Amino acid sequence: MDAVEAALPVKRKGLKKSERREQILLELKLRPHFRISEMAERFGVSTETVRRDVEKLSRDGLIDRAHGGASAPAQGQYPGFDERSGERQKERERIGRRAAALVQPGETLMIDSGSTTLQLARALAFAGTPCTVITNSLPVAMALGQGDNAEVIICPGEYLRSESAVVGTEAVAFLNRHSVDRCLIGASGLSDDGPSEAIRGFAAVKRAMLQRSRQTHLLIDREKFGRPSLVQVGGLDAIASVIVDRAPEDGLGAALDAAGVEVIVAPQKI
């Protein structure tokens, strides 16, 4: 038995589904690949059970499926949070201010991590809008903390340093225990198939927020139109409105209209 195998128990029987998936993520921090049959023996469950766990974590962008097993996700070339925050600043500010205007005093919100949603948080703080916000983003929480009227709740989970945010099964489970008036999320891309995400673990967080909110809004700038990313978040029917800096044209505009998604264009000045 090598050092990695010795780091974890040989068998972990009786684990809940969420606990098995956390153990799978932990395993891939210790080594780059494992076989499904090996993990099934360790957990004392069938290979089909582990395969379903792997498929779910893969859909959420947390791991990569491999022949007969799973691997740690490959690092892509998508720019980090700090780099994205410096791009198209004026457009993001416009979208953030317009989205903030949708929020009514006293509402409960879910806001995910992103450079555009950070502008939303700053706009809410500046306006002094009373609200309760659940977020997985430390910058969003800190921006809201600049005001006096927002109660901020930060999700637990696995810290993703490049994004200053938390992801993982614990974050998703926490979101699923709450219901809010509206969620306001960003995305890496928006196509006819719906919003998608390039960052590991973000799709699962966004999906949970969409499912636990009565009103759903996507904040996205025109540079991301027609650009599908790694993991699909959901269909166009999962969102009630998109807040954009310019109205989508061609096929995307028609697809949004057919899905009944309201397109809200942020004005040049508010």
Distances (CA, A) of 168 to 22, 172, 173: 8, 6, 9
Other beta carbons less than 10 A from residue 11's beta carbon:
10
CATH no. for 81-265: 3.40.50.1360
Pairwise CA distance, residues 161 & 20, whole Å: 24
Q: What residues contact residue 177 under an 8 Å CB cut-off, 6+ apart? A: none
Could you give the residue range(s) of every CATH 1.10.10.10 domain in the chain? Answer: 3-71
Which strands form 241-244's sheet, in the order they lie side by side? Answer: 150-154, 131-135, 107-111, 180-185, 213-219, 241-244, 262-265
pLDDT at 62: 77
Going residue by residue through the chain (270 aa), what tens digit of pLDDT does each one get? 444 443 444 445 578 888 888 788 777 766 778 888 888 888 889 999 998 988 888 877 777 787 788 877 655 445 555 555 555 688 999 999 999 999 999 999 999 999 999 999 999 999 999 999 999 999 999 999 988 899 999 999 999 988 899 999 999 999 999 999 999 999 999 999 999 998 879 999 999 999 999 999 999 999 999 888 888 999 999 999 999 999 998 799 999 999 999 999 999 865
Q: Within the chain, which residue ranges are assigned CATH 3.40.50.1360?
A: 81-265
Give the model's pLDDT for residue 56. Answer: 84
C-beta separation of 197 from 230 below 8 A:
yes
Q: Measure the CA angle with vertex 67, ends 61 and 73; round to 5°.
A: 25
Dist CA 183 CA 218 (whole Å): 8
CB 181 within 8 A of CB 43: no
CATH annotation of 3-71: 1.10.10.10
Other beta carbons less than 10 A from residue 70's beta carbon: 27
Give the pLDDT confidence score for residue 248 in this predicted structure.
Answer: 92
Residue 2: its pLDDT value, please? 43
pTM of the entire predicted model: 0.73
pLDDT, residue 1, reads 40
